[in-house]
Each structure stands twice: as structure tokens, then as C-alpha cells.
Structure 1
Amino acid sequence: MPASGLRATARIHAVADGRGGTALPLLAGEGPLALRRTRGPSAEARVMLVGAMSAPLGGDHLTVEATAGPGARLALASAAATLALPGRGGEPARYDVRLTLEDGASVRWLPEPLVSVRGSELRVRTRVVLAPTARLLLREEQVLGRAGEDPGLLSSRLTVTCGGRPLLDQELACGPGAPGGWDGPAGLAGHRALGQLLVVDPDFADDPPAARVLGECAVVTPLAGPAVLVTALAPDALRLREVLDAACRTYHG
């Protein structure tokens, strides 16, 4: 492997097949980003991201690109948690996700948690572009350190546009080297699992969900568009998933 690290891209393109289902004319993975089509409802194409090797290591750059054409329905998931691991050269790793949804398309992006391992540095960037009539369910879960260990440095940014207008743009950084206060009372307050659930649905334009508190460390925030954002903190990944699953049942059905 070159000193600069591994470069790998997974590409998915989903289209309505004209018979009420969704076809995948493009399903191509590289290196650690292996893709497998799995069974699901006939109208929805389901793709599993299967890690073929340990990644991302420091210096690696992994990219997932998915496009859903008009009327296509696509569900994306991962088979296991992603571990951000330190590399030999001390360089940061990068993990980019790019989702494009055209008119009437529906995408569910539900990966397993990302675990920031001690000594690692990972920069995650997720970009989503939606047509005004598209629907999106997006879940992000981040765990700071394995059991009994400190985390690495993790920075993450999520940007979403709908109909060409900004819907959400947020950034966070956690771990050694992050801006001060990330673990204080105004930040994570000692929690080691954090996540969010974003639901974009045109129906929310006429009937938006109300802002509310979900338990001790989770909140529901309606966005200035047909969307709702649920953010949560938890002591571990199991409790975080319970909170986000409950929110998913409420706002996505």
C-alpha cells in the first residue's frame, strides 16, 4: 500500500424499472467497500455495504456515492460497525458519503455505528442533494472509543440541500485535539455515543412535527423545510440505537 493510504469508491445507481420495482444498473465497489444486493420489498432495492478489510486506516480515503433516479426506492445499510483505526504515518483518514435523490425518489441510509478508536483521526463528510419531492431517512451513530478506551479525533459534517436550497449544515468534532469543551456540560457531558436521525418527507410541509424532548438526552427539531431532525446522546451504542429506533417508528413509520 502506498504511503498516502488506500483510495476506494463504492458507486450505486438505482432507477425505477417501470414495473413497480427498482433496478440497479450500477453496483460497483472497490477494496474494503464491497457491495451486495439483498432481498427486500419488491418496490425497493436493498444494498449492503460489506467491509472486505480493516478500514479506514490513517491516510485512507473511502467514498460512497449513491444516486436514486425518479421514482426509485433504495435502502443502504452496512453489515457491521466501521472502525476508524490509526495508520502508520499519522495521517487522518477520510470517509465521504454522497447521496443524490431525484424527483419522487426515496432513500434510506442506515449504516451501523462508526467507532473512533484511540489514536485514530477520521474526517467524515456526508452530502445529500434532494429534489423537492424526494424522501430521505438518514441515521448517523458515532461511538467514541471501544469499551474502556479513550476515543480518537473524529470530525463530521453533514450538509443537505432540498430543491437547491440549504436544509441542514452542521459540523462537530470530538476527541483529543477537538475544540475545548466538546466533552463538557455544554457538549457531550461524559456520554460516549451520539447520533441523529434525519427524516425528509414532503408531507411535513403541510403537517410539520412539533419540537419536543425525547427522554433525558434526545430532542426533536423541525427544520425550515419538509424535515425533522432527532439528535441524541447515550452512554453506549445499544441505548443510542433504542432511542433512534423509537424516533424512526414515530416519524418514518
Structure 2
Amino acid sequence: MTTAGVRATARIEARDDGRGGTSLPVLDGEGPLALRRVRSGGLEARVMLVGAMSGPLGGDRLAVEARVGPGARLRVGSAAATIALPGQAKGEARYDMRLDVADGGELWWLPEQLISAGGSDLSVSSHIELRGGARLVFREEQVLGRVGEEPGRLTSRLTVRRDGRTLLDQELACGPGAPGGWDGPAVLAGHRALGQLVIVKAEFEKDPPAARPLGEYAALTPLAGPAVLVTALAPDALLLRRVLDEALNELT
């Protein structure tokens, strides 16, 4: 750590082990980003992201990189919610995810919630590259403020590309200093938990799910290509997870 904050990158590489399973030749964490392989009971490899320090804090630059090779199956979760905090260093914190899935590979990215604590300033970027018949389940959940506090500033961008073609590219800014209207009826409508689920699989090419509401504050939207997007708002993290879990069970 320096006065400018922490710089740390965690790297995961998953490969087909040639016996129907998945090996992890690269599993390397730094600083607050510790990685642990956990028992899967199946053919996939499972990795848990464990926060070894508080953060991200102001000025931190954190990144997670994951590569999934042909025939490999990887599921990534986290041991607890990530809490963005103000910290002593001035300036915005950054948390970047760079995920790459080869043709025939499969990635389930299912971390716990990101909580934007009062006074924090965090920019999150998730960039996902898919090739050919890659399969993806990506969940993102964000909670604005802890109980009884106002949120920090949170900017989140999610980009998903398949064979160089953009399936999804969106950005949302919330909290102090964000463009006006972020908490209004056209955006969050006063809710403090927001999430989305992106699922990409070849079966959607021939039989895509129809666009429809999934309750009062959730919707399913087909994307260009074999992909769907589920977006949801809720008053708290528990109800948000329930909505996204129901959609995940239906679509996978």
C-alpha cells in the first residue's frame, strides 16, 4: 500500500485437463485479492475470491483477470460482499474485471454484492470477451449504502462481446455527483439494490426467450446474439437475489 492506494491483480486460468475435468494452472492473488480453489464435486473448477483486506478504498486500483480455455468449466464466487469505503487516500478507486472465454469454454461468474458505502467513490468495469460457442452466466449486484446511510458515488460499466461483436455495452452512475435523475422514477425509482444477469448460450440462437417483465421492477430482454439480459431493482439485497435466482433457475 502507498499513499496512492493499493495496486493488485488476481489472475485465474482454467484449462481442460484432458480427463473430462478442469485444471487451474494459474491461480494467483495479490494484496486484498486472495484466491482459493474449493471442492466442486463435479467436472468444473470452483474458485472463491476472498477479501484479505478492507476495500476497495479511495485510490485503490484492483483487477481480476480470468481466462477459460476450450472445454474448461469455471465457476467463480466470493466469500463475502465487497464494500467500497472512503479510505485515507484521495481520489476514485477502480475495480476492473477482464474475463475471456474460448470456444467450448464455460464461465459462471457469481460474486456476492458490491456495497457502495457513504463517502466512497468507486468505478467498476467488467469487460467480457467470448468466442464461438462459449457459455456465460454473469451476475452483478450492487447495493447503494449500508443500513441507514447515504450511498457513495458508484459508476459501473459492463461490456460483453462475442467474436468481436458487441452484445451489451452499458454504464450507470449513482450517488453524489452522478448525473441528475439517477434516483428518479426513470432509473432507480428510490430503490437501493440493483442487479443484472447476463446469460449466453448457443441454445438461445434457435430458441431465444421472449422479452417480458419478471415482476414489478424486473425484466428479461433478449440481446443481439444467443444472449439474454435480466435487470432488476429491489429495496434490499435479499429480495434482489431472490429475483435473480428465480431467473437463473429458469434460464439455465
Range of TM-score over shorter length: over 0.9
Structure 1 residue aligned with 2:69:
69
- The 2-side partners of 1:37 and 1:108 are apart by 14
Structure 1 residue aligned with 2:122:
122
Query: Per-residue CA shift, 1:158-213, capped at 9, x if unaligned?
Result: 00100111111000000010000000111101000000000000110000010000
SS of structure 2 residue aligned to 1:128: strand
SS of structure 2 residue aligned to 1:146: coil
* Alignment of structure 1 residues 51-200 onto 2, 5 Å: 51-200=51-200
SS of structure 2 residue aligned to 1:126: strand
Share of identical aligned residues, percent? 68
Query: Per-residue CA shift, 1:208-231, capped at 9, x if unaligned?
Result: 010000111000000011000000
Normalised to the residue count of structure 1, the TM-score between the two structures is 0.99
Moved over 6 A (4+): none
- The 1-side partners of 2:107 and 2:168 are apart by 17
SS of structure 1 residue aligned to 2:67: strand
User: Which amino acid is 1:32 matched to?
Assistant: P
The CA deviation at 1:132 is 1.8
User: Which amino acid is 1:208 matched to?
Assistant: P
- Alpha-carbon RMSD across the aligned residues, in angstroms, is 0.6
The CA deviation at 1:42 is 2.9
User: Which amino acid is 1:94 matched to?
Assistant: R
Query: Per-residue CA shift, 1:20-61, capped at 9, x if unaligned?
Result: 000000000001100000011331000000000101000001
User: Which amino acid is 2:161 matched to?
Assistant: T
The CA deviation at 1:79 is 0.3
Give unpaired runs (5+ residues) of structure 2.
none
Q: Contact 2:160 / 2:169 at 8 angstroms: preserved in 1?
A: yes
- The 2-side partners of 1:88 and 1:81 are apart by 21
- The 2-side partners of 1:77 and 1:71 are apart by 20
Give unpaired runs (5+ residues) of structure 1.
none
- The 1-side partners of 2:179 and 2:46 are apart by 38
The CA deviation at 1:233 is 0.2
Structure 2 residue aligned with 1:236:
236
Pairs aligned (count)? 252
